[in-house]
C-alpha cells in the first residue's frame, strides 16, 4: 500500500524547499529589476522636469498651472568650458551629467585642495548655463551651483541679472540638511533676501556672504556691506557657511569666474 505521507515528505524535502526558495527569489528579483529598468526613464524625466521647474522658479518665471516644459522652451541652455569661459557646442547640454563628467578622467578635473572651498573634490570641465532672453538681449543668466553643507551636498541654481554681478535668486533643489535647521535654505523668506544682492565689490573682489545674525537694513547700522549680505540661519551657521562657500567657488576664478568676466565685458552677451 502506498505511503500517504511519502508525497508530503518529498515536498517538504530540503531540496524542494531550496528549489522553491531559489525560484521565488529569482522571479522576485527579475520583477524588481524589470520594474526598476522600466521606471528609470520616467524617473530621469521627472528629475529633469523638476530641475526645469526650479530654474524657472529661480528666474521668477514659474507659473503654477503652466507646463514647465513649455515655459522652459523660452530659456536657452548653453555649454560653457569653465577654464576659458567660452561657449562650446560639444559636449552638448543634453548629454551633460555633472557627476558622471566630474569623475571622468578626460571630462572632469580634480580641484586643488586650496581652491576647493565648496568641498566637492572634482568638477566637470564644462557646465551648462541657462540664458533668459528679452528679444535678443540676455536678461538673466542662471548657473548651476553645488557644494557641501553640514551633512550633504547642496545642489541649486543661482540666477543673475545681465550685469553678471547682481543676484536675481538662489534656490536649492536637493540637499539633506536637517529639517528646521539647515533646511531653512528652502524658506521663501530667506530665499527672497538674495534678490538684488551684489556678488562683487567695485574692485571685483567676491563679497557676497551669509552672515551670522540679521543684516542691518536701517540707518545707522546699515552699511555699504549690506548690499553683499544675507541673514544667517538660526542654529544652522554651518549650512549658511556652506552656502557662502559654494557660491564663492562657483562665481570664483576656478568656477564661472572667466565666463562672468566675459559677460561683464559684454563679450559673452551675444553667443
- Smallest separation (angstroms) from ligand FMN to the CB of 183: 7
Residue 240 or 268 with smaller CB distance to ligand FMN:
240
- Smallest separation (angstroms) from ligand FMN to the CB of 144: 22
- Smallest separation (angstroms) from ligand FMN to the CB of 48: 27
**Which sign, positive or negative, has the C-alpha torsion 8, 14, 16, 22?**
positive
Residue 169 or 182 with smaller CB distance to ligand FMN:
182
> What's the grid cell of residue 178?
536637517
**Residue 37 CB partners (closer than 8 Å, separation 6+):** none
Residue 177 or 209 with smaller CB distance to ligand FMN:
177
Q: Measured in whole angstroms, how far is the alpha carbon of residue 244 from the centre of its chain?
A: 15
- Smallest separation (angstroms) from ligand FMN to the CB of 238: 3
Interface residue list for ligand FMN (CB under 6 A)? 150-151, 177-178, 181-182, 234-239
Residue 211 or 227 with smaller CB distance to ligand FMN:
211
The torsion defined by the Cα of 142, 145, 149 and 152, in degrees rounded to 10, comes to 110
Nearest-angstrom CA–CA distance, 216 and 231: 9
Nearest-angstrom CA–CA distance, 74 and 91: 21
Give the residue at shortest CB distance from ligand FMN: 182
Pair 198, 89: CB distance under 8 Å = no
Residue 184 or 262 with smaller CB distance to ligand FMN:
184
- Smallest separation (angstroms) from ligand FMN to the CB of 186: 12
> Which DSSP state fits 181?
T
Amino acid at each position: 500500500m502506498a505511503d500517504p505521507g511519502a508525497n508530503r515528505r518529498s515536498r517538504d524535502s530540503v531540496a524542494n524547499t531550496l528549489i522553491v526558495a531559489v525560484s521565488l527569489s529569482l522571479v522576485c528579483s527579475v520583477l524588481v529589476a524589470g520594474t526598476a529598468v522600466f521606471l528609470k526613464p520616467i524617473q530621469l524625466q521627472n528629475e529633469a522636469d523638476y530641475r526645469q521647474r526650479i530654474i524657472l522658479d529661480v528666474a521668477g518665471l514659474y507659473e503654477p498651472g503652466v507646463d514647465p516644459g513649455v515655459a522652459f522652451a523660452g530659456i536657452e541652455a548653453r555649454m560653457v568650458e569653465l577654464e576659458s569661459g567660452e561657449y562650446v557646442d560639444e559636449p552638448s547640454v543634453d548629454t551633460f551629467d555633472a557627476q558622471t563628467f566630474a569623475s571622468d578622467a578626460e571630462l572632469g578635473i580634480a580641484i586643488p585642495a586650496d581652491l576647493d572651498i565648496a568641498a566637492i573634490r572634482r568638477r566637470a570641465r564644462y557646465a551648462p548655463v541657462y540664458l533668459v532672453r528679452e528679444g535678443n538681449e540676455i536678461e538673466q543668466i542662471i548657473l548651476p551651483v553645488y557644494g557641501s553643507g553640514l551633512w550633504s551636498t547642496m545642489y541649486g541654481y543661482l540666477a543673475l541679472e545681465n550685469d553678471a554681478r547682481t543676484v536675481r535668486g538662489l534656490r536649492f533643489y536637493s540637499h539633506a540638511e536637517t529639517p528646521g535647521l539647515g533646511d531653512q535654505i528652502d524658506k521663501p523668506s530667506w530665499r527672497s533676501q538674495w534678490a538684488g544682492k551684489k556678488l562683487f565689490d567695485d574692485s571685483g573682489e567676491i563679497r557676497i556672504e551669509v552672515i551670522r545674525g540679521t543684516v542691518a537694513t536701517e540707518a545707522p547700522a546699515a552699511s555699504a556691506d549690506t548690499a553683499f549680505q544675507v541673514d544667517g540661519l538660526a542654529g544652522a551657521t554651518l549650512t549658511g557657511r556652506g552656502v557662502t562657500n559654494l557660491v564663492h567657488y562657483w562665481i570664483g576664478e576656478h568656477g564661472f569666474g572667466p565666463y562672468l568676466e566675459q559677460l561683464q565685458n559684454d563679450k559673452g552677451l551675444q553667443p
